[in-house]
Amino acid sequence: MKSRVFLLMLLAVAASAVAQAQIREGTVEISPFAGYLFGGEFARGTTSLFNVRVDVDDDVTYGARLGYNVTDNFEMEFQWSRTETAFVTNNHSGDLFGNNENKLGDLDIDYFLGYGTFNFGHRRAVPYITIGAGVARLDPKVSGSSAHSDTRFTGSLGIGFKAFVNPHFGFRFDGRGYATSLGNRDRNDNLSCDRFFRDCNDDRREWLTNGELSGGLLFAF
């Protein structure tokens, strides 16, 4: 009889923990994370370093997010993340499994972004969408160049879910994209079109776009 009572009490505690493992208004969340950033490219004429289009290599990224739950469904977040990657050329030769990348220099990318995050649900698994904006700090290190870092506007959109173990701890899995403004190329760059009509001599705005997949811990209090 005592063992049955103990078992019932244990189940009640477990059920209570599940019920409480949710987004709660007025709580703060800290989420360190790590993942992979999928590079993007700098179009020809968008940098003073190269006179050709260059790619950004895929590489590891890491950072942290700090959030405050304004309501049970809406959270305001700040994100810092860093990727230590490189400029590369990618000459597509058409060879199966070929890899013709040549490293041209290093590039550090730091994102400083604010987000509005919309949480859906109040159980242990909480999906969400998030939209934000801020800046990216681009710091190139190219041999023979005296280029300095630059800070540019960045917009971001993401989806993910939070998996709570208890009301104060869980895991977070996330996918998001970034678009960083590189400014307008003016008509004085004297760029000609290639055979695919890219890099034409125009004044359109160019963007560095890349994507990220990440996972991390979640602390709520």
The CATH number for 94's domain is: 2.40.160.20
**How many CB atoms neighbour CB 218 within 10 A?**
21
Of the candidates 183, 172, 221, 180, the residue with the CA atom closest to the CA atom of residue 205: 183
Which mean pLDDT values do the consecutive 10-residue runs of the chain (221 residues) have? Answer: 47 43 84 96 88 92 97 96 92 55 92 97 90 97 87 98 94 98 64 51 78 97 93
Residue 14 pLDDT: 42
Say whether 53 sits in a helix, a strand or coil. coil
For residue 129, give its domain range: 2-220
Of the candidates 60, 50, 61, 112, the residue with the CA atom closest to the CA atom of residue 87: 50
Handedness of CA 125, 126, 130, 135 (dihedral sign): negative
**Cβ contacts of residue 161 below 8 Å, gap of 6+?**
125, 126, 127, 128, 172, 173
Residue 219 pLDDT: 97
Residue 194 pLDDT: 52
Residue 8 pLDDT: 44
Residue 120 pLDDT: 93
Are the C-beta atoms of residues 107 and 85 closer than 8 Å to each other?
yes
Q: What is the pTM of this model?
A: 0.81
Total domains in the chain come to 1
